[in-house]
Amino acid sequence: MADLVVFGEDWGGLPSSTQHLMKQLAEDHRILWVNSIGMRSPKLTCYDIKRTYNKCLNALTSKKYVSQSTELFPYVIHPQVLPFHGSKWVRKINRSLLKNQLMAIMKHLDFTDVILWISVPTAVEVVGCLNEMAVVYYCGDDFSGLSGVDHNVVEKLEKDLVNKADMVLVSSKKLLKKINNKKTVLLSHGVDYRMFSTPKKRPYDLPDIGPIAGFYGSISDWIDIEMIAQSAMALPSWYFVFIGDIKTDISILQNLPNVIFLSNKQHTELAAYVQHWDVAMLPFKDNQQIKSCNPLKLREYLASGTSVVSTYFPEVEEYSDTIAIQKKGEHFFQAIQRAYGLKEQKLQRQQLVEHESWGNKALDLVKLFDYLQKKAKLHIDY
């Protein structure tokens, strides 16, 4: 079995698709997880200064490697890098720093037959440094439309990574069309079906009267806050519940009596909330990032059986028979009411995703890894 070196976001918190997949692969593959090396240069804000300080402190004070626990989880390390990826000289320094740090750890762990998995284009500089037998670029977002990144820098690095990778995996059909070459493969998101479909007790902090429309995830600038405010005012008997980090201006919602922001929850707690909502929302803006997205919560919502309402984006279209998708000229609150009328279709929604588990996605991934290993061996033998 191949050993995996994975460049992703920081391990922990609400898991990304890469984390879900690696948890499935950890039983048969040793995994070295490299925490985020960033997608933009830090700014002079309290958040960026604190984050940069913590990352530097972690990199300088962490052990050679850190094992998460005795369970089947990756070895996690804090990368020793400078967060200024727009500079050619900084990227060269980072290449040297990462090579020295990772090669020492890989030697200590006796890693062999390494597949390098990269889900952040800023890690492209490490390609070719680790004696890896293959490189996989996992593209889960359209970085040209993603907020909070240095677009010009990241787009150039992504093009370089696509060229260097032996295989490119994309999470949506829109991304498959964008990165259109013979080494690109569609690997759509999975879901922890058992966790989200197994009935849970009603959480104590949910309103106990009135219908509930809920959302969990990052409350960022891709959420249509004005549309939510209009819906909450149009449906005063409904409660609108949000769970997640607030990263955008929500001032127009804060004085509405039927809009509630709950504290952050662990991923394992979310099933209990969505199961006891009357409607689960995907209230996205129409922008480039959303047009290419394939949100993990979409399949989680479906697995719970809860009615779903969504603004339109390409990946939601295949579920149009069981999801209330906002129509052109329709108010979002009207779509919420339509979704409420679909409550009895719980079983149909669950059947759509019951075979889309992360375990099944990992089996597909293992087949792709086997192909890369055979290809690498043929090249070496030749």
With cut-offs at 50, 70 and 90, classify the pLDDT of residue 85.
low
328: Cα within 13 Å, side-chain hemisphere:
0
Lowest-confidence segment of 10-14, 114-118, 219-223 by average pLDDT: 10-14
Rg (CA), the chain: 22
Quick: pLDDT tens for 145-198.
Answer: 676 667 788 889 999 999 999 999 999 998 999 998 999 999 999 999 999 999
Quick: pLDDT tens for 239-271.
Answer: 999 999 999 999 999 999 999 999 999 999 999
With cut-offs at 50, 70 and 90, classify the pLDDT of residue 40.
very low
Q: How far apart are CA 113 and CA 4, in angstroms?
A: 9
| Whether the Cβ atoms of residue 81 and residue 100 lie closer than 8 Å to each other | no
The 8 Å CB, 24+ separation contacts for 153-161 are: 153/40, 153/85, 153/86, 153/122, 154/39, 154/40, 154/85, 154/121, 154/122, 157/85, 157/121, 157/122, 157/124, 158/121, 158/124, 160/121, 160/124, 161/118, 161/121, 161/123, 161/124, 161/127, 161/137
- What residues have CB less than 8 Å from 5, skipping those under 6 apart? 31, 32, 34, 102, 106, 111, 114, 115, 116, 117, 130, 132
**β-pairing verdict for 324-325 and 307-310:** parallel
Residue 200 DSSP SS3 = coil
Q: How far apart are CA 13 and CA 2, in angstroms?
A: 26
Torsion of CA 338, 341, 344, 347, to 10 degrees: 0
Written as one letter, the residue type at 110 is: D
With cut-offs at 50, 70 and 90, classify the pLDDT of residue 348.
very high
- For residue 205, the Cα-to-chain-centroid distance in whole angstroms is 26
Residue 40's closest CA among 123, 118, 153? Answer: 153
- What residues have CB less than 8 Å from 218, skipping those under 6 apart? 244, 245, 247
107: Cα within 13 Å, side-chain hemisphere:
6
Residue 269 DSSP SS3 = helix
Q: What are the b/e assignments for 45-70, b being 16+ CB within 10 Å?
A: eeeeeebbeebeebbeeeeebeeeee
Asked if the model's pLDDT at residue 35 lies above 50, the reply is yes
Written as one letter, the residue type at 57 is: L
> What interhelical angle do 17-25 and 358-381 show, nearest 10?
70
Residues 51, 52, 57, 58, CA torsion sign: positive
State the pLDDT at residue 147: 67
Tokens coding 44:
């002079």
Quick: pLDDT tens for 296-344.
Answer: 999 999 999 999 999 999 999 999 999 999 999 999 999 999 999 999 9
Please state the pTM of the whole predicted model.
0.88
Report residue 48: phi and psi, to 5°: -65, -40
State the pLDDT at residue 59: 44
Residue 326 DSSP SS3 = coil
Q: Mind listing the domains of the chain with CATH numbers?
A: 3-190+357-381 (3.40.50.2000), 193-353 (3.40.50.2000)
Lowest-confidence segment of 17-26, 42-51, 290-299, 314-323 by average pLDDT: 42-51
